Each structure stands twice: as C-alpha cells, then as structure tokens.
C-alpha cells in the first residue's frame, strides 16, 4: 500500500499503459483520478478502480478544460499527490518521400500540429495546472511519458519524436524549478509495449520488435506501471530530473 490515500491523476487513463497504471496505483491504495477523451472506455475503466476513484472526460489540449478538471479534483480531495502525464497520440509518416527523383509525399502539417498539441502542449497544460497546487502543499510528484524514440529517434516519426524529446527537456527544467518546493519531476521512456494498438500489428512487425529487444519479448503495460509506481513512491524520494528507460535493453535500428 505504497500509495495509500494518495490522490493520483492519470491522463489518457482509459486504456493501454494509462489503464494498467491506474489499476496498479489502485492496488497500492491510491485514490485514482483518470481523464481521457473516450468517455465509454473511461467509464468502463473507473468501474474497475474501486471506491474513491473517478473519471473525467477531458481533452488535455484544452487549457480551460484541464484547469476545470484540476480545480474539481482539488475541491473534492483537497490535494494532488501525483500527476502522470500519459496521454499521447501517433500520426506517423515520412518527413519527405521521394521516388525517381520526384517528391511524392511528406508529413502533413495537420499531423505534426495534432501530435504536438496532445503530446507536448497537453503535458505542459496538465503539469502547470497541477504544479501550482503541489507548490502550495509543499509536496508532489509529476511523471511524464516520453519514449525511447525521444532519446534515439525513429524512422517515420518526426512529429512524435519531437514531442517526446521535448518532454525530456521539460522534465529536466521542471525538476530544477520545482525541486525547492518539494516537488519531484521524472519521466519514463518505454520501449515496445504490448498495448492493444501494438498487439493488433502484423506478426512480422511484432517479431521485428522482439528481435531488437535483448530480453526477447515486448514489454507489458504493467511493466511501465511499475516504473511509474516506483518513481511516485517514497522509494524514489531522492530521484528527480531523471529519464527511466523501460525498454528491455532495446537497440533502435535505422
């Protein structure tokens, strides 16, 4: 019960890593508050979390909606102990694509903007709204979802990589700025994780992911949830500004 009675906010908490993290923290006694844009999945997930937990339908790109969510949580619980910035999207595509010396395609501006809005601005919105309360109460933990590709790059993911690298930078800045107020800020960088979306990929693609992972398997969402739990707990009381890779020792190819 490492999170007993702690108020834990998780964005994108309706499915995948967010759902696994919500369940893991609930097991440890937390009052889990999830948000997601998917109302049906959010309601289904919160029913699994037990008494004291709640779901809010929130778009993290909407600044006023995020602030309203945070204000309502504070009004209900009186404090916020942990924020896990998990919400994120993909819109993969080549930066530019040439064939026979001719430009035949490129990443759409709309796809770049959408990923930046959710994965980078959304993290900024939620962390800024929550950190004010954490500073007032003199304690708190902010955990951000980056990715191994934010550290190593990846083919066809200019937009996603840019956001995840940006999250690394923001994590380090906030750790410096908020540390004197008793607030710790860290990030987790998952490798290939067997979420619902990944599990639906062709077997050949999955085998390629496994072949580049020395441990020989995809990670489970619970593997990432356990990393978040450690960083949120008092076991990590002297850890801030760090990026924890949870990737099975992966080597990202070209």
Who has greater pLDDT, 75 or 197?
75
**What are the beta bridge partners of residue 144?**
85, 187
Q: Is residue 56 annotated as part of the catalytic site, yes or no? A: no
pTM across the whole model: 0.94
Who has greater pLDDT, 211 or 77?
77
Does some domain include residue 14? Answer: yes
Does some domain include residue 252? Answer: no
Does some domain include residue 208? Answer: yes
* pLDDT tens per residue across span 82-128: 999 999 999 999 999 999 999 999 999 999 999 999 999 999 999 99
| For residue 216, pLDDT beyond 60 | yes
| For residue 254, pLDDT beyond 60 | no
Exposure of 125 in the CB half-sphere (CA atoms within 13 A): 23
| For residue 252, pLDDT beyond 70 | no
Residues 155-178 have a mean pLDDT of: 96
Does some domain include residue 46? Answer: yes
Measure the CA–CA gap between 198 and 124, rounded to whole angstroms: 26
Residues 1-14 have a mean pLDDT of: 95
Does some domain include residue 254? Answer: no
Could you list the residue range(s) of the whole structural domain that residue 26 is in?
A: 7-246
* pLDDT tens per residue across span 14-47: 999 999 999 999 999 999 999 999 999 999 999 9
Does some domain include residue 251? Answer: no
| For residue 195, pLDDT beyond 70 | yes
Residues 211-219 have a mean pLDDT of: 88
CATH of residue 242's domain is 3.40.50.720
Residues 67-78 have a mean pLDDT of: 97
Q: How many structural domains is the chain composed of?
A: 1
Does some domain include residue 42? Answer: yes
Does some domain include residue 253? Answer: no
| For residue 187, pLDDT beyond 50 | yes
Strand 183-190 and strand 243-246: the pairing is parallel
Helices (H), the chain: 16-27, 39-46, 63-77, 109-116, 122-137, 148-152, 158-178, 196-199, 203-211, 221-232
Measure the CA–CA gap between 149 and 190, rounded to whole angstroms: 9
Residues 202-206 have a mean pLDDT of: 84
Exposure of 184 in the CB half-sphere (CA atoms within 13 A): 20
């Amino acid at each position: 019960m490492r999170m007993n009675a702690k108020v834990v906010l998780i964005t994108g908490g309706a499915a995948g890593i967010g759902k696994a993290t919500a369940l893991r923290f609930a097991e440890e006694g937390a009052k889990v508050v999830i948000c997601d844009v998917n109302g049906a999945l959010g309601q289904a997930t919160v029913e699994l979390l037990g008494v004291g937990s709640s779901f809010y339908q929130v778009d993290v790109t909407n600044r006023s909606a995020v602030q309203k969510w945070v204000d309502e949580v504070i009004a209900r619980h009186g404090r916020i102990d942990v924020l896990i910035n998990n919400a994120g999207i993909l819109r993969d595509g080549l930066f530019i694509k040439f064939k026979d010396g001719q430009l035949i395609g490129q990443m759409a501006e709309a796809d770049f903007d959408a990923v930046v809005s959710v994965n980078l601005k959304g993290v900024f919105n939620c962390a800024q709204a929550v950190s004010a309360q954490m500073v007032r109460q003199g304690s708190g933990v902010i955990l951000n979802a980056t990715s191994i590709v934010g550290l190593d790059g990846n083919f066809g993911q200019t937009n996603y990589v840019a956001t995840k690298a940006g999250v690394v930078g923001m994590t380090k800045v906030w750790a410096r700025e908020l540390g004197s107020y008793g607030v710790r800020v860290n990030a987790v960088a998952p490798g290939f994780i067997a979420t619902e979306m990944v599990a639906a990929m062709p077997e050949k693609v999955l085998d390629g992911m496994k072949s580049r992972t020395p441990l020989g398997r995809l990670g489970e969402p619970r593997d990432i949830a356990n990393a978040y739990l450690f960083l949120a707990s008092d076991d990590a009381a002297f850890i801030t500004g760090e990026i924890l890779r949870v990737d099975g020792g992966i080597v990202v190819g070209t």
